[in-house]
C-alpha cells in the first residue's frame, strides 16, 4: 500500500479527497490503493476515473456499481469509461454494455 495512504488515521481518511491524495497533481495509485480510497475516503469516483489508469474489474466493481456512489455528480456510465479508460471497454460483453447503459 502507498506509504502516505497507509499512514492516514481513520479520521484523516474520512476527510481525504482527490486533492489531498494528490490525484489532481497526477499521483498514480495501484488498483489495491484505489479500492481502499473508494471504500474509506470521500474522493469522487469521477476524479478517480479521470486521473488514474484503471482496469476492467475496477470499473465494473466500483465505478458502475451504485454501492460506492456518494455524490449525485458521481453517476458514471459506460460512455464515461469509454472516454477516460478506453482500454477497458473491449472487456465488456454486449449484454453488460446494454444493461449498464440503462441502469
Domain that holds residue 48: 3-101
How many structural domains compose the chain? 1
90 grid coordinates: 473491449
Higher pLDDT, 94 or 53: 53
pTM beyond cutoff 0.75: yes
Reported as a single tens digit per residue, the pLDDT across 59-81 is: 999 999 889 988 878 889 888 99
Reported as a single tens digit per residue, the pLDDT across 38-66 is: 999 999 999 999 999 999 999 999 999 88
42 grid coordinates: 470521500
Q: Which residues contact 38 (CB under 8 A, 6 or more apart)?
A: 45, 48, 62, 68
Q: How confident is the model at residue 89 (pLDDT cuts 50, 70, 90)?
A: confident
The pLDDT assigned to 46 comes to: 96
Amino acid at each position: 500500500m502507498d506509504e502516505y495512504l497507509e499512514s492516514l488515521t481513520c479520521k484523516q481518511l474520512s476527510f481525504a479527497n482527490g486533492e489531498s491524495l494528490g490525484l489532481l497533481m497526477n499521483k498514480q495509485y495501484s488498483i489495491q490503493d484505489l479500492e481502499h480510497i473508494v471504500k474509506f475516503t470521500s474522493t469522487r469516483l469521477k476524479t478517480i476515473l479521470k486521473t488514474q489508469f484503471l482496469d476492467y474489474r475496477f470499473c465494473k466493481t466500483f465505478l458502475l456499481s451504485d454501492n460506492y456512489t456518494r455524490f449525485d455528480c458521481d453517476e458514471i456510465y459506460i460512455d464515461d469509461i469509454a472516454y477516460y479508460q478506453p482500454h477497458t471497454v473491449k472487456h465488456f460483453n454486449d449484454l453488460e454494455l446494454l444493461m449498464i447503459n440503462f441502469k
